[in-house]
């Protein structure tokens, strides 16, 4: 079967660990991938030292984008917001363990874009955040 759909990705797509919404939350952000209609929202709770205590995502998307969101949120639990700001495309690709073409890369990076726009407190998520 296709390398893109490694067991890890299929598993996290079917059985996500960090799926849900946090209400109240300290940081929330959502955005779409207009190419494919994917939509991801990420909610964070942060303690007084800017450490992420809880992180959940919601929305709809393909296996790559949803598995990527779930794996990403796993890595941010307990992280300082400053450490989240420096996460990059390479971190996501390493986490997924696959190579992606330009179209699917947008799927994989949507959750990072949403997360960083939220952490930076931006009004709009820009592709520059994940370049």
Partner 1 sequence: MNIIDTEKIRLDFPTIAREIKPGIPLIYLDSTATSQKPSVVLDAMDVYYQQSNANIHRGIHTLAEESTAAYEEARHKVKRFIHAPSPKSIVFNRNTTEAINMVAHTWGRSNLKKGDVVILTEMEHHSNLVPWQILGAELDLRLEFIPVTEDGMLDLVEYHSLLELEPRLVAFSHMSNVLGTINPAKDIIESAHDAGAVTLVDGAQSVPHLPVNVSDLDADFLAFSGHKMCGPTGIGVLYGKTELLESMPPFLGGGDMIKRVELRSFVPNSIPHKFEAGTPAIAEAIGLGAAMDYLDGIGMEAIAANEHEIISYSMKRLEEIPGLRIFGPRPQYKGSVASFTLDDIHPHDVAQVLDSFGIAVRAGHHCAMPLHEKFNIPATTRASFYLYNTQAEADRLVDGLYHVKDLFG
Tell me which residues touch partner 1 (CB under 8 A).
1-2, 4-5, 10, 13-14, 35-39, 60-64, 104, 107
CB of 36 to partner 1, least distance (A): 5
Environment class of residue 75 by beta-carbon count within 10 Å: exposed (0-12), middle (13-18) or buried (19+)?
middle
Q: Which is nearer to partner 1, 13 or 84 (CB)?
A: 13
CB of 130 to partner 1, least distance (A): 18
Q: Which is nearer to partner 1, 25 or 33 (CB)?
A: 33
Number of residues that this document lists for the chain = 131
Best CA proximity match to 67, nearest among 107, 22, 102, 94: 107
Q: Which is nearer to partner 1, 84 or 96 (CB)?
A: 96
Q: Which residue has the tokens 């994917």?
A: 38
User: Are the C-beta atoms of residues 115 and 72 closer than 8 Å to each other?
Assistant: yes
CB of 103 to partner 1, least distance (A): 8
Q: Which is nearer to partner 1, 3 or 131 (CB)?
A: 3
């Amino acid at each position: 079967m296709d390398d893109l759909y490694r067991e890890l990705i299929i598993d996290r797509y079917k059985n996500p660990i960090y799926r849900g919404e946090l209400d109240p939350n300290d940081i929330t952000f959502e955005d779409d991938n207009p190419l494919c209609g994917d939509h991801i929202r990420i909610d964070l709770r942060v303690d007084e030292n800017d450490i992420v205590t809880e992180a959940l995502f919601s929305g709809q998307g393909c296996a790559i984008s949803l598995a990527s969101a779930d794996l990403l949120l796993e890595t941010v639990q307990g992280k300082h917001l400053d450490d989240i700001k420096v996460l990059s495309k390479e971190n996501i690709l390493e986490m997924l363990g696959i190579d992606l073409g330009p179209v699917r890369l947008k799927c994989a990076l949507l959750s990072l874009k949403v997360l960083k726009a939220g952490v930076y407190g931006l009004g709009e998520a820009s592709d520059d955040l994940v370049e």
